Chains A and B, each alone.
Chain A
Amino acid sequence: MQQQESQTGERKRFFRDDLESSENNIPFVAPILNNKDSSLFGDQAQSEKEEVRSSRISQQLASFGEQLKELIPDLSDAICSKLFEKFGNGDSAISSAVDYYFEHSKSLLMGSDDIPDIIDLSQDPKGNDDRSSSHYSSSHNLNSDPPQVIEENSTPSMMSLMTQSIQLKRKRANRQEEVSKKIKHEPTWKRFIGSLPATAMITRPTIKPLEYGSQLIMHASNTENSKSSKIYNSNGKRKVSMAHLVRILDQKSGREIGRMPEELARLIHPLIDASGVIFNLTLIYGGDRRLSVGDNFIVQLDCYLTSDIFGEYDSSSDTVDHNKKKSKWEPSSQSMVETDNELSDRFKRMGLITLFKKLRIREITDESSHLKSLEKDINEEIIDLEDDDAYDSIMSEQNDIGTEIDENETMNLNQLQNFYNVAQSTEALKNLPETTPSTDIMKLELRKYQKQGLTWMLRREGEFMKAAHSTGEETPDTTMMNPLWKQFAWPKDMSWSKQDVSDSADPSTKSLFFYGNLHTGEFSLEKPVLTTSMKGGILSDEMGLGKTISTLSLILSSPHDESLNEKQLFEQDEVSTQNPEIPYAAKTTLIVVPMSLLNQWESEFKKACNNDEMHSEIYYGGNVSNLKTFLTKTKTPPTVLITTYGIIQNEWTKFQKEGHDAKLHGGRGLFSIKFYRIVLDEGHIIRNRNTVTSKAVMQLSGSRRWVLTGTPIINRLDDMYSLVKFLRLEPWSQIGFWKQFVSVPFENKLFKQAFDVVNSIMEPVFLRRTKQMKDSNGEPLVNLPPKQIVVERLKLNEKQESLYKTLLQQAETSVRQGLAQGDLLKKYSIILVNILRLRQVCCDVRLIGAQDEMDEDLSKSNTMVDNASSVGKLIDDAEDVDDSTGFQEEEFNKAVLSLKEKHDLTDPKLSLECSICTTEPIDLNDIVFTECLHPFCRTCLTEYCDYQDMRNLDLKCPLCRNDISRKRLLTLSKNNDGTFDVVQYGRIQRNAKVASLIKHLQQLQDSSPGEQVVVFSQFSTYLDILENDLKEAIPSDQVEIYKFDGRLNLKERSTVLERFQQKDPSKQKILLLSLKAGGVGLNLTCASYAFMMDPWWSPSMEDQAVDRIHRIGQTSNVQVTRFIIEDSIEEKMLRIQERKRTIGEAMDADEDERRKRRIDEIKMLFE
């Protein structure tokens, strides 16, 4: 060590002198050489070269320093020189140095005096980072063979890989001999990891039979070794493979007796001379006679990991470090040439991986429960790794995987489930202790799992004092294992030497696990944790489990930042040093919600909060004039500030426009404050990071960040990225990292790899409970009453039907054209409009042409289609329902009177015969009277009219031959008391769905009056139509109809919901709810009946809607009726929904895949 220090001293002087002439450096070089006089190459003959070299070094150092300082301006000379010492002057030296600097800046700075930490590094091959081995070898190389290394490093591009590897071999040999000449470094301990049997071959005849159990030595030989190279030069072909020759020597005699089988040799060859791994070779069978060349004998190869490989893992260093390291080798493996060190490093790494595979050492994913350990096939790990290392070799395999997946789509589903399973990590969750918020602050009683959730959330925020502790559990780590590391269990010691060698002194025997980063070949005994400074996480409980309540309990339990004391709270403008322009609202949690939930959050807060000092405020529009003052200067700022995504987007856009001015004034509105906590409700809204909303939300500043969402993945795995980015979960929030470890592998169909990484990213920050989950007592988390979903299939009415047929033809034509010309997706929007039309007709013809906010994006192609087709005419047809040829008020009244004279409509047994079908009596619900008061079945008369129209014949009453008109027909409308009213036919011509809905509603009102009913549709125009029809059909003293859609403003929304929720025993309350405006978040448990008027493409959207009523708080059975038109596009949509459920939409691998799927779907619709 002393020697080392003096060496540093020398070096330091050298660097201080570096501005002086190069001759001054010569004296410096000598000590190095003297130090290294054990080295084979440290002979005098080279000292002359050294002169040249040292002058060159100083030049290189100067330029190195310059470059480095460009990147890191405040870099001190001392550190600079250290870095140079470490990384030389190669192509990648600068970048490596920069990386290293950032990783180890602390140690570098500390060591910038006299503590030679870098030298430590070179002296102690353990190293303390992943590149330890390469540093190790590099330092040795520098010492042992300096001219060569410098040459290589300075001109790597000039060298082919071939010569590199040869040189590598040579160096290794040199190093090995050097090492053996030196007193071999003794590891402090070693531990068995497995043994392999091997059949070795005798290369030299033995005099007597080999002794059972005799210890053998392995010696890795090289082609560069003069003797062996001669031998194998004669056999040129085999030379390459002989590079991995491992000879076996008898320990006693030191005589070579044989060699290892080639496959094994290739594996262990790079490892023999590497530190960290030790092999013990024992002869277990050699036969009982003397052996001659070519005979086989069997050996047992015991493998140990030594303390060397378990460098002191610096567990305090944070995430960024490791991933910087990661990135360090990553680009280099992609760039053309690998340096020698990297190459040898790689050989070693791959050797280790293969060895691990051979030894069947498997990673453990779930430490807490070995029983349920999701063991992963190490084979796949190999694929992953090789993918990083050797691109070409893996391509074929990748393709294999790809096709396999194509064939078996359900694998995707499994993957998604797997993702959720791991993310849930059930066992651990069950055992979370419960935190009960004090009743002083929280009025509501939490459920068990919500209390557990609270514990988890408090822990995520680092509020351990507030979170409950379970007995026996140590303080839970908020840290996660570095995702690039794998956990392994020590295998039972089965080695040959176990009997006699007791390694009880081994400090590691107690530990059950060790950890390895197979990407870097780095090992550790301690769990390589990432301590994230990030506070917050993703609460992803399934819909209806009470994310809101859980969050409120968190807010109430920890309402303000206690790290700041009262005084600071008011002075923190000055206190916060980092960005004095952004004041810190240390007492306020910002909650961002979709507009429809604004009031719900407020009322939930009021319900939950039991502390008068805490209050909530809605930030909506300009209701708060100066937010900054309001939140930071007042004595009692609101505990909760609720706002919407829209507001944020709005403010952001304005802020952007104002540009620098605004920035000078410290931002604007919400952006001018740093919040104590930010909560995003329905956080998947920001999933597309390119939307303005998403961008705006990212800019909010807060010290704790939460995302609430029941559906973190909606379309693709990358949806998660936005959440991660919002959470500032380093380093994954950098798109590069995410891409590299998630997106790219995913696109390459390495699903497992991508999911594994996502899992490990998410595991610590992600809490998801589902309704199906059981608590530790085996009880389900939530006991929701059962829900029943009935699909009711209906037929179109005649008008709908004819229109449907026309439109279908049109749509089919365009699809067929699209398929034929191969530009189906170019026509996508047109086809979408066509499909939309069909769906609209299924609901009501009046929807066609109605501007619907659902389809803004379609409006352009909308007009295109409409112009190009007869839709205009069709719409006319639909509209002329109430044109002037119909009854005038007077005529109508007259007709009604005479009809009543002719037939006793009060008689429920009224029996009339339809002269067309001769049915008697005609169903009074389905009766039509001509103007001449002749009764017919609705269908018969319609059929007649259609037939006549078809033949261009006049419409005449079949009975009296008077002219009739479709628009001048009468029909009966049943009242609730069983009597009938005469109404004009056609005006009330109800489509099938409305008719059925009315029927259901009336039945419901008969059987249980005063129910609340929710009716969903995605077309808000349809809601209008429904509203009218229902009002016409049901007497107003029996029903109250509310409508909730995107057109309501905030106040109206809350009024509507409030009034709907008040139960009125005499009146049925019907809420017409737009799927888009009210499909998420709302709590409508007062209703237990729902009707879905039209299907939506994605089943999850409908599930969300149903969960508005089927959620916690629901006490009755839930009955959902879905109306589907038979043999129509709606039924096909059901099939697509089914398909989406099985495939899992999230698994759409890439753009092509999605495109293909879309075409499939379109084909499905029109098959």
Chain B
Amino acid sequence: MASLPKRIIKETERLVTDPVPGITAEPHDDNLRYFQVTIEGPAGSPYEEGLFQLELYLPDDYPMEAPKVRFLTKIYHPNIDRLGRICLDILKTNWSPALQIRTVLLSVQALLASPNPNDPLANDVAEDWIKNEQGAKQTAREWTQRYAKK
């Protein structure tokens, strides 16, 4: 494996020494580009009280290319599919090398707080969310209780 860019080392150090509230990210012992991430469900959202496991991988072209992030915990969210894939513009076309792991994870946290059913990834969830927002939120809350209990 190519040697780790200075930037990744620096970011990792900062994640440890100056962690973002509600978010943890730890590099894997064997692969410093692979992070185990937890995100607390934002307060006031259906995911409150939940602790979601994610994985984050920094590709070789990082930071030119966006990191790959995926939910490991099952979550009921219009922008996150059953496989945990996230629909977030900064992870796709709007990626900028000025973004960092920290900012990416903050964005994911923000996505939990404000789902965007108009740009869905899980179509059934999004439909449900549009037709019956309350019901959908209830389901999300249930799922959080079921799968993401702290």
Contacts and interface: CB of A to CB of B under 8 A. Distances in A.
B64 A944 contact: yes
Interface residues on A, range: 10 to 19
B61 A918 contact: no
Contact of A917 (B7, B65, B94, B99): B7
A959 B96 contact: yes
A137 B130 CA distance: 131
Contacts of A918: 6-7, 10-11, 100
From B65, B96, B97, name the one whose CB has the most chain A CB atoms within 10 angstroms.
B97
Interface string B56-84: 00000101110000000000000000000
A940 B97 contact: yes
Given A943-B64, A944-B64, A947-B64, A919 B6 contact: yes
Contacts of B61: 947
Interface residues of B, number: 16
A956 interface: yes
A961 B94 CA distance: 9
A916 interface: yes
B16 to A, nearest CB: 15
Contacts of A956: 96
A233 B61 CA distance: 98
A829 interface: no
Contacts of A940: 97
A418 interface: no
A958 interface: yes
Instruction: Provide the main secondary structure of the chain A interface.
Output: loop
Contacts, number: 34
Given A961-B94, A961-B96, A917 B6 contact: yes
B12 to A, nearest CB: 11
A959 B103 CA distance: 12
A959 B98 contact: yes
Contact of B98 (A916, A919, A943, A947): A916
B5 interface: yes
Nearest to B65: A947
B6 A915 contact: no
Contacts of B94: 961
B5 A915 contact: no
A940 B64 CA distance: 9
Contacts of B65: 947
B25 to A, nearest CB: 16
Contacts of B98: 915-916, 958-959
A958 B90 CA distance: 11
B6 A944 contact: no
A916 B6 contact: no
A1087 to B, nearest CB: 43
A943 B6 CA distance: 15
Nearest to B96: A958
Interface in B119-150: none
Contact of A958 (B6, B93, B97): B97
Contacts of A961: 94, 96
Nearest to B61: A947
Contacts of A959: 96, 98
Nearest to B11: A918
Interface in A524-549: none
Interface string A945-979: 00100000100111101000000000000000000
Interface in A865-923: 915-919
A493 to B, nearest CB: 84
A953 B10 CA distance: 27
A249 B71 CA distance: 120
A915 B97 contact: yes
Contacts of B64: 943-944, 947
Contacts of A958: 96-99
Contacts of A916: 7, 63, 97-98
Interface string B32-63: 00000000000000000000000000000101
Interface of B: 5-7, 10-11, 61, 63-65, 93-94, 96-100
Interface of A: 915-919, 940, 943-944, 947, 953, 956-959, 961
Given A916-B7, A958-B97, 13 more contacts: A915-B97, A915-B98, A917-B5, A918-B6, A918-B10, A918-B11, A940-B97, A943-B64, A944-B97, A947-B64, A956-B96, A957-B96, A961-B94
22 contacts: A915-B97, A915-B98, A916-B97, A917-B5, A917-B63, A918-B6, A918-B10, A918-B11, A918-B100, A943-B64, A944-B64, A944-B97, A947-B61, A947-B64, A947-B65, A953-B93, A957-B96, A958-B97, A958-B98, A958-B99, A959-B98, A961-B94
Closest 10 CB pairs of A and B: A958-B98, A915-B98, A958-B96, A947-B64, A916-B97, A959-B98, A958-B97, A918-B7, A918-B10, A917-B7
